[in-house]
Amino acid sequence: MEPISALGISHILARQLFFSVCFILFRYQSVEDIISEVFEEFNFLRESGLLQFWKCIGYLDSEDIGCNLVLLDKPFRLTDQNHEELKNYRRKSHDNVIRFVGAQKKVTGNWFAGRAAQTGIADHRTKDLVHSHHYQQYAEAAGMGQCVLPVFYVVGDRKKLAGVIELVTSVPKESYVEDFNQLVHLLGGRGLESSYMGKTIKVQYDDMIKFNLPISAKFTDLLKEVTNRFQELKYKHVCIKYKSNHRISNDEDLQKCMKESNSKGEAFIRMFIEHVGGTCDCTSGEII
C-alpha cells in the first residue's frame, strides 16, 4: 500500500470535519425544523391538500402515562389558500389545539391524530369511508380524505413519540399508502421514523388479547400473533371469526375484514376464537 501524502491526509481530515459538523447540526436541529423540510418536499401531485403537525409534549401529572398533543402553527402547509373546506378544517383543529392522549384511556370522539398517537400505527380514511353514511354522522374532516402517521425519534435503544403528521386531501383517495410511503422516506432521510399502516386487532378466547397488524398482513401473520399469545392453541386448528359469523381462513378473508373495518371508521377490529380442534401447520397456515 502506498503511503498517503500530506495533502491526502488534509483532505481526509477536512472531510471528517465536514461530516462531524453536519452531524452536530443535524443532531441539534429541532423536530419542527425537520418536519418543515419534509412538508416542503412532499409532493401533493397537484392536488389540494393540507399538512399539519401535532407535537407530543409530556404530561407528568396524569396517572395515565401519555402526552399532550399540541397543534403547532408551524410546520404547516396548505396547497390552495382559497380552499374553504381545508381552511375550515384547520380552524376546527385549532379549536382543540391541545388535547391529551393516554396510553390506556380511550381517545374520545373521532380524533384521528389522537388515535395514531395512542396506537403507534398509521392509518387512513379512504374514499370508501368518506362515502359511507355511517362515517358522515361523525365526520372529522367531512367529505375529505385523511392520513395520519406517528413520528418517532430514537433515544438510545428506545423510540420516543415526537408527534403526529396529519395529511388531509380535498378529494378522498382509494388509498393513502403511497403518500404514507413518501412521508416515511422523507422522514427517514432526516433521522426520524414512523410505523407501518395498520389496524388494532382484539381477539377474545379465554382472555382478551390486543395487537397491531399491517393492512398488508397475511392470514399467517394473524395466526402467528394469536398462537404466540395463546400458547395452548399452538399447532391446533384455530377458527377465527369476526362480526359473529364471518370466518377468517385465508388472506382474502383478512383483507376483506380490514377493508370493511376501514370503511366504517372503526378504531379496532374485534375477533373471537369459536372452535379449536385438530392440528395445523402454523408456519404455513395450512390445516392438517
Give the burial class of 242: count Cβ atoms within 10 A of its Cβ; 0-12 exposed, 13-18 middle, 19 or more buried: buried
Same domain, 87 and 55: yes
- Classify strands 268-277 and 198-204 as parallel, antiparallel or unpaired: parallel
Residue with cell 399538512: 51
CB distance 151 to 194 below 8 Å: yes
Same domain, 248 and 144: no
Q: Residue 282 sits in a domain of what CATH number?
A: 3.10.20.90
Same domain, 189 and 56: yes
Confidence of residue 59 (pLDDT cuts 50, 70, 90): low
Per-residue pLDDT tens digits for 84-131: 999 999 998 888 777 878 766 666 667 888 888 888 889 888 887 666
Same domain, 41 and 181: yes
Q: Residue 139 sits in a domain of what CATH number?
A: 3.30.450
Q: Please check whether residue 9 lies inside any domain of the structure.
A: no
Last residue of a domain, one of 196, 214, 236: 196
CB distance 149 to 183 below 8 Å: yes
Same domain, 125 and 46: yes
Q: Please check whether residue 119 lies inside any domain of the structure.
A: yes
Same domain, 159 and 248: no
Q: Report the distance separating Cα 252 and Cα 257, nearest Å.
A: 9
Same domain, 207 and 177: no
Q: What pLDDT, on a 0 to 100 scale, did the predictor assign at position 139?
A: 57
Number of domains into which the chain is organized: 2
Same domain, 102 and 34: yes
- For residue 268, list its beta bridge partners: 200
Last residue of a domain, one of 158, 177, 196: 196
Same domain, 244 and 282: yes
Domain that holds residue 117: 29-196
pTM of the model: 0.74
Confidence of residue 285 (pLDDT cuts 50, 70, 90): very low
Q: Please check whether residue 222 lies inside any domain of the structure.
A: yes
pLDDT surpasses 70 at 5? no
Q: What is the 3-state secondary structure (H, E, C) of the chain?
A: CCCCCHHHHHHHHHHHHHHHHHHHHHHCCCHHHHHHHHHHHCCCCCCCEEEEEEEEEECCCCCCCEEEEEEEEEEEEECCCCCHHHHHHHHHHHHCCEEEEECCCCCCCCCHHHHHHHHCCEEEECHHHHCCHHHHCCCCCCCCEEEEEEEEEEECCEEEEEEEEEEEECCCCCCCHHHHHHHHHHHHCCCCECCCEEEEEEEECCCEEEEEEECCCCHHHHHHHHHHHCHHHCCCEEEEEECCCEEECCHHHHHHHHHHHHHCCCCEEEEEEEEEECCEECCCCEEC
Same domain, 62 and 136: yes
Q: What pLDDT, on a 0 to 100 scale, did the predictor assign at position 261?
A: 79
